[in-house]
Amino acid sequence: MDATIEQLILDELQELRNDLRGFRAEVAAWKQEVGERVTTLEVTSKDISGNGKPGRMADAEDRITVLERIWWKILGGSAAVSAIVAAIWHVLPLVKH
């Protein structure tokens, strides 16, 4: 084999090795970034679910339940006021006679 061909092959192998090192560095950086994101998601998930204690989701559900109760009370009060106004409206013509 010619010395120049051997040198070309060695140069190509060296370049391939350098490319592989760069690829490994990129993969390592990607793995670290993905690991950080997964950790952040786990922390957020535990914060929302409560991790054995009432979390933000349980707080939100409790608040929604309170709002629903208030809404039904307002609806009932509105219906009662409407019934009273309707009754008075029907009684007023009778009083004028």
* Residue 33 and residue 25 in contact, taking contact as beta carbons nearer than 8 Å: no
- Residue length of the chain: 97
| pLDDT of 92 over the 60 cut | yes
- The residues near 28 (Cβ < 8 Å, ≥ 6 apart) are none
Structure tokens given for 71: 């809404």
Q: Please report, as a single letter, which amino acid is at residue 21.
A: R
Is this structure's pTM higher than 0.75? no
Confidence of residue 71 (pLDDT cuts 50, 70, 90): very high
Is residue 95 scored above 70 in pLDDT?
no
Q: Would the pLDDT of 23 be above 80? A: yes
pLDDT confidence bin for 90, thresholds 50/70/90: confident
